[in-house]
Amino acid sequence: MEYIFEFLTMSFPKSGLQIRTPITFSMLLILFLLIKKKNRSTKTLKRIKGFTTLYFIFVMFIAFSFIFNPYGFTTDDITKAMVLVGSPIALVIGTNMNKELFKKIMAYSLVIVGGYSLIQRIFGIISTAIPGLTYTFGQNLMSKPIGYGVDIGKEAIKMPSTYQNGNLSGIFLAIGVPIMINWLLKEKKNKLLKIAAILFGVIGIYLSGSRSVLIPFLLISLLIPLLSMGKLNKKTALLFISISLFVSSTIILYLYFSHAQILEQAYNQYVGRTLLDPTGNGRTEQYMYALNQMNSLSGIQLLRFIFIGFTWNEELWLEGFIYLFFNYGLFSFLSLIILLLITTGAVFKENKIESLGFISVIFDFMVDGSFVYPPSLMIIFLTAGALINKKLNKNNFSTIK
């Protein structure tokens, strides 16, 4: 059941239907699995030092924001809070999974998500959509602001893949690619799968159109050759770097001379838009408005804001971690950031290369609010749990191929 959950969460996270609020198969499965493993939860969370305490603080202050702000919140506010509170417990599920099989399923998911992004780019988002599978049945893709302009003859800036959102799909792919690069195959027949996962993962990140994902991912990826040197001898490491540079240069030159429009589109999306928009797509204006609102508070109002944020009637949508501070208070803001840092630290301790995707996504969360939407946080904690799991469950591995 854990592996079905992993596959649905990574490959088809939006499969399900809209009943006032989206109900996905992943959401139902995680509830079932957490009930099933409730006796192991406390013990599992303690595997990362400080995790249980920080998680308790985080949940407590999220709850306080509703208890002491009982008026004005919406169904959407409740859904976001449930995502924030429920996602970290996915660590429990991950730590009970076979690491090798987990990576194999992740590889298939990378191929599906990246490959479907390419299909959307070629044939159009709407014309290739499957209601209830690639997006939540009952929702309208045309109403989504991300990836708008969605059919043949129209230009879509971001390919949402099966995530209904280019930023969300980009986050999963950014986490998965370094893990695939570092995947030491126990079965040689998976070599083609590994190569395909890396290839489609990189293509999917580019097609996601998410600058907040791509830029930190590219910068962090520069560390992969350096970290690889510790595992390879000097001659092999230099050969790996040389081949990587040669292949990258060849692809860029080929595109420049044969398909210049692709490079032009990439420049306009990732460089031109960034240079032309110093506000970060309106983010600096959001932050300035929020700071002005905070500066207008005094006395009891300011103290209340520090503990539980603004009232729901004053709720602000802010991109990045700062959203937590202004809507749930200082302690919720700090506890989630530290939870992510210590979780990433635990993965880093196990394997430095595999932690690089986590690091790049934390940078993304500084300026993007994707963490309040499933399955971003869920994938982070689920994957971290599997990667820090040192037990090899041979029964699971032999029965699920």
Res 260 pLDDT > 70: no
- How many CB atoms within 10 Å of residue 316? 16
For residue 145, what pLDDT is reported?
46
Residue 148 has pLDDT above 60, yes or no: no
Could you give the CA distance from residue 92 to residue 343 in angstroms, rounded to a whole number? 12
Sign of CA dihedral 369, 307, 70, 32: positive
CB atoms within 10 A of CB 173: 31
Quick check: 397 and 104 in contact, CB under 8 A? no
Alpha-carbon span 88 to 382, nearest angstrom:
8
The per-residue pLDDT for range 219-257, each reduced to its tens digit, is 898 888 778 766 656 666 666 566 666 666 776 665 556
Give the CA count within 13 Å in the CB-facing half-sphere of 202.
11
Please report which confidence band the pLDDT of residue 147 belongs to, taking 50, 70 and 90 as the band edges.
very low
Check if the beta carbon of residue 305 is closer than 8 Å to that of residue 65: no
pLDDT value at residue 399: 35
Q: Distance between CA atoms of 67 and 65, rounded to whole angstroms?
A: 6
The alpha carbon of residue 77 and the mean position of all alpha carbons in its chain are separated, in whole angstroms, by 20
- Mean pLDDT of all residues in 134-161: 67
The pLDDT-based confidence of 342 (bands split at 50, 70, 90) is: very high
Q: What is the pLDDT of residue 134?
A: 93
pLDDT in tens, 106-144: 999 999 999 999 999 888 888 899 999 999 888 877 765
- Note the pLDDT of residue 117: 94
Distances (CA, A) of 219 to 88, 174, 194, 272: 27, 12, 22, 18
Residue 333 contacts residue 54 (beta carbons within 8 Å): no
Identify the pLDDT of residue 397. 39
CA distance 266 to 271: 8
Which of 151, 180, 166 minimizes the C-alpha distance to 113?
166
Q: What is the pLDDT of residues 1-37, one digit of tens each?
A: 899 999 999 999 999 998 777 888 998 898 888 878 7
In this prediction, residue 393 has a pLDDT band, given cuts at 50, 70 and 90, of very low
Give me the phi and psi of 291, to 5 degrees please.
-65, -40
Please state the domain extents for the chain. 2-399
First vs last Cα of the chain: how many Å apart? Answer: 14
H or E element at residue 18:
strand 16-19
